[in-house]
A and B are shown apart, each in its own frame.
Chain A
Amino acid sequence: MNEIKRQILNRSVMIALIGDDEQMARHFEIEFLKQAKASLAIIIENFNSENYVGIKEEAHYLKTSASAVGAEITANLLQELEGIALQNDKAKCKQQIKSLHQSVSQVYEVIRNEG
């Protein structure tokens, strides 16, 4: 269970990046959630208009933030979504976006419960 939680939000990644500054880490975690919400909306909009390049670009953008805060599962899903979008496979994209939505919700839960 702990290992799974660690993969949802591996806090040691951000500590290694910005240093052991709890307040700043908290700030970036909240920023990530805001960004994820906005990016998910853009990804869904692009999915509805079948703009696969747009999906890939937005996934790539959010992947940088997810990797930086240590949201490892989310970052992996985004990496996969980049590849799936290039295949123009609507069904696979839909499934991946659902998984992505779920993983961001899990990050939100961890931040809210352990803040």
Chain B
Amino acid sequence: MKAKHAELASRHPKVVMVYENADDIAGAATIISEQIDEYRTIILNDKTAKFLTTTKPAVILFALEDITKAIHIYSQLVEEEQVNHPHYSIVMCSNRESGLAFRCCIKGLFDNYFVYQPLYEKFRLKIMIHNGIRRGLSNDQYLGVQKENFDEIDEKLAELIDQSAECKQKLLNRIEASKDEILKATDEIETKEFVPQVSPKEIMGVINEEHVKPLLASLEQDIKSGLDTLVEQLVAQKIAQQAHDKQIKAISKVKLGKVEDVINVAAKQEKDKTPTVESKAVPKKSKIPKVLIVEDNLMYRDMLVNVLRKEKYDVEEAEDGLKAIQKIKKDSFDLILMDLYMPKLDGINATKQIRLVNGGKKIPIIALTGNKDKTIVRKWASFGLKGYIVKPSTKQEILDTVNKVLN
């Protein structure tokens, strides 16, 4: 695996990651930098405190040697008031130390924790950063996660999510408004000097009748109309799906009819010994299979590209798991050949992520491995491998494996 240094810099960062070893944070740093431009990684040294005091980032991540060190450093920064502005703190940890990180968060030392060794949950990191920034900055200062950061999903489902979110937001706004109304009502009662003459029960009665009941009725109406819209959409979707299913059934009936005709014709021609029409019955597959090779070693990757291109495959390449996912989101592939150990995102985690991408669930993956550890290959296979090639292998073995999977 090739180590890559992830030095990311912004002069006015909203998000800062304090680290010790650049190789450890390469994956996490790339994910955050994809989400926000005002981001910076800084190495832990005697200038760290001054940097944080000056820049006052909304989110600070600590990716240090271990949690104990993160606790010491962060406590010192807070105690000496070098970090004394409102911020969202995240401690980065290995899977082994997640229990300790959880304890730190429960006790209120850090606001959250993230397991980055190994890095599995890219989107959990993104949502933490998003929530952290939103807590510290106004809407003008932070525009939120942009559309290009989302995976492709069905348009109607996207609409449904937006409308549901809007419905929830309306509900929250109404609740907030109710609180204000109740407070206002209490103030009014107090200013009218009702308190000495009226019992608390009566005050509550007045509030209930004049404010709470109308608000509840209004809330109920809001929720009902929101839900009605959602139900209407779901019903419309179901009707559309049923119509689509009917259409598919009708098409398959027609196709079946045609196939039967073709079989009859072919049988007749076989009898007549006129084999020329056979090609019409079984048309040759004309599409050139598109293969993605994911391998960090440039030389070996070139060799594989060469082998497959000579056999007329349409070949694309990616140097690590993250790049592969980006390509898969943009394009469709018939097959992926993937290495195990790669920087940024390894083969196992890349496979997991690919399975979550739209259309990625069905892409066959062949593992490229020099690793004799069967436990790792078995673990990888549990995410859906169609085969494996032991590196360096031979041209014939590679082509046999590829053809077997594609056919």
Contact = CB atoms under 8 A, between A and B. Distances in A.
Interface of A: 13, 16-19, 24, 28, 31-32, 35, 42, 53-54, 57-58, 60-61, 63-65, 67-69
Interface stretch (B62-70, B269-277, B390-398): B390-398
A61 B300 CA distance: 10
Nearest to B310: A19
A18 B300 CA distance: 10
Given A17-B393, A18-B395, A60-B341, A68 B303 contact: yes
Contact of B392 (A24, A53, A60, A68): A68
Given A13-B392, A60-B1, A68-B299, 10 more contacts: A18-B303, A18-B306, A18-B307, A28-B299, A31-B299, A58-B3, A60-B341, A63-B370, A67-B391, A68-B303
Interface in B1-21: 1-3
Nearest to B394: A16
B297 interface: yes
Per CB-CB distance, the 6 closest pairs between chain A and chain B, nearest first, are A16-B394, A68-B392, A64-B297, A57-B1, A67-B392, A65-B299
Contacts of B391: 64, 67-68
B2 A58 contact: yes
Contacts of B310: 19
Contact of B23 (A16, A54, A60, A65): A54
B392 A17 contact: yes
13 contacts: A16-B396, A17-B307, A19-B395, A28-B299, A28-B302, A35-B299, A57-B23, A60-B1, A61-B2, A64-B297, A65-B299, A67-B391, A68-B299
A32 B299 contact: yes
B300 A64 contact: yes
Nearest to A68: B392
Interface in B294-322: 296-300, 302-303, 306-307, 310
A19 B304 CA distance: 11
A19 B135 CA distance: 60
Interface string B303-347: 100110010000000000000000000000000000001000000
Contacts of A17: 303, 307, 392-395, 398
Nearest to B24: A53
Sort chain B's interface into a size bin.
20 to 34
A106 B261 CA distance: 69
Contacts of A60: 1, 341
A19 B370 CA distance: 21
A54 B22 CA distance: 11
Nearest to B371: A60
A65 B304 CA distance: 12
A57 B2 CA distance: 6
Nearest to A61: B2
Nearest to A70: B392
B184 to A, nearest CB: 62
Nearest to B372: A79
A69 B310 CA distance: 19
A49 to B, nearest CB: 11
Contacts of B341: 57, 60
B282 to A, nearest CB: 31
A58 B297 CA distance: 11
B340 to A, nearest CB: 10
Interface string B89-109: 000000000000000000000
B300 A65 contact: yes
A65 B298 CA distance: 9
A49 B299 CA distance: 28
Point out which of B299, B303, B398 has the most chain A C-beta atoms below 10 A from its C-beta. Answer: B299
Given A17-B307, A18-B303, A61 B296 contact: yes
Contacts of A32: 299
B370 A67 contact: yes
Interface string B378-407: 000000000000011111101000000000
Contact of A57 (B3, B298, B306, B395): B3
A60 B394 CA distance: 20
A66 to B, nearest CB: 9
A67 B306 CA distance: 17
